[in-house]
Amino acid sequence: MSLDITILDKAGGPKEGIPLTVDEHWAFASEAQRMHLELWSRMSDYYEDADYEVEEVGRLSQETEKLQKVFSTGNLAEKLRRISELLQVAANERSAVSAIAD
């Protein structure tokens, strides 16, 4: 099981995504809550979906940049880099994003 951060296609289905393991999720979610990152904190439950409207993708990217300052090396930094790239694609395509518990 993973929590997949995904770009949604125009029909609302997942288009492409980045899976988070339970350990990656725990690291990001606990730090997001400590930093009061509202949009990342929406993903605090590994077993629940979280949805982000097109208008929120830019803010979610900004919050991701803040997490990248905390996790600046190693596997977690690489995962955040991939998430940041995915969010940039979503912003460019004006697509919504979801974290889908799979």
Residue from 59, 67, 62 nearest 25 by CA: 67
Single-letter residue type at 102: D
pTM for this one?
A: 0.94
DSSP-assigned beta bridge partners for residue 101: 3
CATH class of the domain defined by 3-101: alpha beta
Whether 24 and 40 have beta carbons less than 8 Å apart is answered as no
Rounded CA-CA distance 99/5 in Å is: 4
Walk along the chain (102 residues) and give the pLDDT tens digit of each residue: 789 999 998 888 888 899 999 999 999 999 999 999 999 999 999 999 999 999 999 999 999 999 999 999 999 999 999 999 999 999 999 999 999 998
Strands 3-8 and 50-52: unpaired
Q: How high is the pLDDT of residue 68?
A: 97
